[in-house]
Amino acid sequence: MPTAYVLVNAEIGAEDEVLNHLLEIPGVVEAAVVYGVYDLIAKVTAPDMDTLKETITGRIRALENVRSTLTMIVVEGTTKEG
């Protein structure tokens, strides 16, 4: 299943609003406000790459108060049990 982490820069003061909108998007399985160069991070999964692309470009990047994004497509990963 294709997965990506999307780093998001939001308008100042709109982080919580963007977070709430991110969590409403199908395929966004986790999202958080963070400190640093970016304001939020979202984990996105999809059944195929075309759906992943549409979710990121058509839904996340189109959100009001999103200034910019940086997408990192997962090549290989694992889940820690415990």
| Region for residue 36 given its phi and psi (left: phi exceeds 0; alpha: psi -120 to 50; beta: otherwise) | left
CATH number at residue 43: 3.30.70.920
Q: Is residue 9 part of a domain?
A: yes
Q: Is residue 63 part of a domain?
A: yes
User: For residue 75, what are its two tokens?
Assistant: 């090549």
Q: What is residue 35's predicted lDDT score, i.e. its pLDDT?
A: 96
Q: Is residue 80 part of a domain?
A: no
**pLDDT category of residue 72 using cuts at 50, 70 and 90:** very high
- Residue 24 identity (one-letter amino acid): E
Q: What is residue 82's predicted lDDT score, i.e. its pLDDT?
A: 67
Q: What are phi and psi of 6, to 5 degrees?
A: -115, 120
pTM for the structure as a whole: 0.93
From the list 27, 18, 23, 24, the residue with the least C-alpha distance to 61 is: 18
Q: Is residue 78 part of a domain?
A: no
